[in-house]
Amino acid sequence: MARLLDPAGRKIEYLRLSVVDSCNLRCFYCRPGDSCEPRRARAILDRETLARVVAAAATLGIRKVRLTGGEPLLRPDIVDLTRDIAVIPGIEDLSLTTNGSKLAGLAAPLAAAGLKRVNISLDSLDGKNFSQITRGGRLRATLDGIRAAYSAGLLPVKINMVVMKGINDHEIENFARLTMEKDIHVRFIEYMPMLGQEDPWREHFLPSSEIMARCAALAPLVPVPDTDFHGPARNFRYAGATGRLGFITPVSRHFCRQCNRLRLTSDGKLRPCLFSDVEVDLLPAIKNREDLAPYFYEAVRAKPAASDRSPASRGSELGPRGMVEIGG
């Protein structure tokens, strides 16, 4: 069967699965204007369906799968789902993105089920600042989750920090220091507008060049080759350090050229591009037990060489869906 090759010649090998449609934190940049009360998470697609989608994708050359949400650990069957996907032939890398608040009790079972590693969203190491950013979250719960992931061998533990000028940029150096002694990868992500945000987001935008300069002031940065399925981060480390620093630039330096991913939304839509409204609905095919391959080919054919709807060009919202619904 033909592999997934898009019109720009990129080999599509990475599928992000949004397995729930909500989150137990209400980070203001992710859900601007949203209520501080968490919405009840819904697992719209069942385990069997998700495993079937991944199995179909694997026959087409998908090798890497990431479980996302919303917050995927809100899903009651997340360990069983992880086990189902981990044994699918062809899947070489299975990871998960989480806010870490429920990871302390799940890291070991997830590792035993076949999860390889985790990305943990953490935007502050100060309890008060963390609570303000997340609108009520507890820093200790996320830190306990990071420790549990490390102990369970979900390495490298990756920490994603969205850098916001005037809010948490004073913590850049503290995050960078985390990489010096442990196998922790800190990835600094440029702040970009989400659904419903207008021009004020620019007040908090800090370009990656400035973030890198702040990190380099601590010690010289040594480039590290990309080994993460053509990921969006430019990776560096401090000489002699165990961990890495990554810089992700959705605004100042687009990474469309190396994008090799598709996204499945929590309600069963394949999205070829994060910044495009184009979606291919899998639900009819799933309901009718049809071959899913033609739908993957359709999504890949619709994948743009570069998005003209990125934050830098639009300056406002991220399409009609919020990030919590499409898995980031």
Residues with Cβ within 8 Å of residue 1, at least 6 apart in sequence: 59, 60, 293
Q: What value does the CA radius of gyration of the chain take, rounded to a whole number of Å?
A: 19
Confidence (pLDDT) at 316: 41
Confidence (pLDDT) at 319: 53
Amino acid (1-letter code) at residue 284: P
DSSP SS3 for 25: coil
DSSP of 193-241: --TT--GGGGGG---HHHHHHHHHTTS-EEEE---SSS-S-EEEEETT-
Q: What is the CATH number of domain 14-326?
A: 3.20.20.70
Confidence (pLDDT) at 3: 85
Instruction: Report the candidate in 134, 30, 18, 106 with the shortest Cα–Cα distance to residue 69.
Output: 18
Confidence (pLDDT) at 36: 46
Instruction: Report the candidate in 283, 279, 275, 264 with the shortest Cα–Cα distance to residue 325.
Output: 264
At 229-240, the pLDDT tens digits run 567 889 999 999
Whether the Cβ atoms of residue 175 and residue 188 lie closer than 8 Å to each other:
yes
**All structural domains of the chain with their residue ranges:** 14-326
Q: What average pLDDT values come out for the chain (328 residues) when binned by 10 residues?
A: 84 95 87 55 82 97 96 96 98 97 98 97 98 96 98 96 96 97 94 63 89 98 78 90 92 74 94 88 94 96 75 46 64
Distance CA(89)–CA(79), nearest Å, equals: 18
